[in-house]
Amino acid sequence: MAHEMVSIVEKTWVAQYAHEGDRRPQLGQIKDVYPAPCGDGLLLDVVLFAHDGRKLGRASPPMGGPRGFEPACAAERWTPIEAPDFEAMSALYFYGDALKPIGGSA
């Protein structure tokens, strides 16, 4: 998903859409932003959340790394969104339409 890089800062809410029109995207909040060591772009450390607001911890195998967030995620895979309304979304199975991208549509 295309987005403006200026929107990628710590504490920004983000969604990772698997495909165009994804109605159950991965939700997260940026913990840290840093340049990719090999190549262009930015990497994000993302705290993952369920659509009801529960923190999920790390999704990939920790292999000795952090357990409370997903480290080194490519920024271009995440779309900045307004803070989710977890109370309203908790009652929805398809919650993607309740998310509001920052600076355009997802």
CATH number at residue 55: 2.30.30
Residue 58 included in any domain:
yes
Quick: pLDDT tens for 42-70.
Answer: 999 999 999 999 999 898 887 888 899 99
pTM of the predicted model as reported, rounded to 2 decimal places: 0.86
Look at residue 12 and tell me whether its pLDDT is greater than 60.
yes
- Compute the distance between CA of residue 92 and CA of residue 24 in angstroms, rounded to an integer: 10
Q: 39 Cβ partners below 8 Å, 6+ apart? A: none
Tell me the pLDDT of the chain averaged across its residues.
89
Q: What is residue 87's DSSP assignment?
A: H
Residue 74 included in any domain:
yes
Look at residue 88 and tell me whether its pLDDT is greater than 80.
yes
Q: Which domain holds residue 78?
A: 5-92
Q: What is the pLDDT of residue 104?
A: 62
Residue 28 included in any domain:
yes
Which residue reads 């495909």 in tokens?
19
